[in-house]
Amino acid sequence: MSDSLLKNGDYLRLMTGQSISSLGTAMSSFVFTLLAMSITGSPIQAGLVGTAGALGGTLASLPAGALVDRLNRRKVLIACGAAGTILLGSVSVAGWLDRLTIGHLIVVSFAGGVGYAFFQPAQTAALRQIVAPEQLGTAMAANEGREHAAGLLGAPLGGILYSISRLLPIAVDAISYLVMTVLLATIRQPLPAPKPDGDKHEPILRAIRAGLSWLVRQPALRVITLSATLLNFAAGGTLLVLVLNLQQLGVHASAIGLLNTGLGVGGLLGSFAAPRLLRRFRTGAIAIVASWAIAIAFSLTAFSTRTVVLVALLGAAFLLVPAVNAGLFGYLVMITPDGMQGRAQSALMFLATAVGPLAPALGGVLLATAGARTALLVFGGALGLVALMLTLSRSVRTIPLLSDVAAEQTV
């Protein structure tokens, strides 16, 4: 991280608060399913908890983006942190009173998804106001590193705390939200709501349509959104097939869990290299190389069932992901008008994840009817199509260095 970012007090407060909360969320997310299973004894009911969170985020994403574009971003962040404290705290209190139910967990998970839909675009929009344009790529890369580190540490720490008391990880996450809220409240930058184009803001539905329309009118972002949709679908299907196939082969659950470790380690190592890569190579070029690396590595998983090989391939596939995410999100934030920040980000995330829930179904069908190798090659072919789309897109190939984009925005 650069010296100028380390001297930016507001950025450090935002980053520190999010880092603490991300670790807490990684712990509680891992434990929520275990907690639901212990209450109901039903895998189906326990699975509803995760489904509720994903559903809340999806349903709220587009209206949340529109609202973030007309609200004070600092207040939105603080409200989301306070809501997380209350939600997780309610689970801890209900469990302590022996009143915790599966319905309570589902409601909290759904509300948490809604909160995330508001927090994410507000956080990125705030980052644009807090950090100098030339430092935005580095700040985005630091965000990627934070998430990968939290993912690696969260599950093991959550498991340890759960073994002490099943409610302890939830209580710790509630405290992490509280700490983040306090740090967010100390941010000095006002982070005001963008001014409307006319006398007043347009109706919500019209604002949502305007955000979607703006996104699809940008040639590079249009291709990136379509590619991200297909990539998320194919990658999710690949991981599901790998897990189910190893389970059918009798591989121990702890060894199967190493697949996520491979992804996490690859992403964490890549986050350290991301700032340097973004300074030296064009964002479009990084995206193209990364897409081919993912397509090749994921396709090669079809030819081995050895856990160590699969872990190495997944780790290699994710090495460039932090640089791609930081570069493309940095590019999006830089070229998007302030009054469109929330809607543009929410539209991109909504479209990129819209068909994700279909991947497990297709993966299961392909595995059952055609076998693991065929299923993995089908998804690998889809990833190859993503890489080809990005390579053939002139608008993507010509996305410049983030520093050049920043310089253009300040002219």
First to last CA, the chain: 26
Distance CA 56, CA 53 (A): 5
Instruction: Pick the closest to residue 71 from 58, 82, 83, 80 (CA basis).
Output: 80
Instruction: Pick the closest to residue 274 from 153, 151, 144 (CA basis).
Output: 144
The answer to whether the CB of 383 falls within 8 A of the CB of 234 is yes
User: How deeply is 19 buried, as exposed, middle or buried, from its count of CB atoms within 10 A (0-12, 13-18, 19+)?
Assistant: buried
pLDDT of the residue at 202: 81
pLDDT of the residue at 132: 83
Which helix (H) or strand (E) segment holds residue 354: the answer is: none
Distance CA 234, CA 355 (A): 10
pLDDT of the residue at 253: 66
Place of tokens 């939830």: 170
Going by pLDDT thresholds of 50, 70 and 90, the confidence category of residue 178 is very high
* Domain annotation for the chain: domains and CATH numbers: 1-186 (1.20.1250.20), 204-411 (1.20.1250.20)
The answer to whether the CB of 194 falls within 8 A of the CB of 69 is yes
Distance CA 186, CA 240 (A): 42
Distance CA 59, CA 357 (A): 13
User: How deeply is 280 buried, as exposed, middle or buried, from its count of CB atoms within 10 A (0-12, 13-18, 19+)?
Assistant: exposed
Distance CA 174, CA 52 (A): 19
Backbone angles phi, psi at 329, to 5 degrees: -70, -35
3-state secondary structure (DSSP) of residue 320: coil
- Which whole number is the average pLDDT over 297-314? 94
Answer yes or no: is pLDDT of 200 > 80: no
pTM of the predicted model as reported, rounded to 2 decimal places: 0.82
The answer to whether the CB of 295 falls within 8 A of the CB of 384 is yes
Question: 17-64, pLDDT tens digit by residue?
Answer: 999 999 898 888 777 877 887 888 776 777 788 778 888 888 899 999
Question: 359-369, pLDDT tens digit by residue?
Answer: 877 888 898 89
Mean pLDDT of the chain: 88
pLDDT of the residue at 3: 59
And the tokens for 386? 């993503």
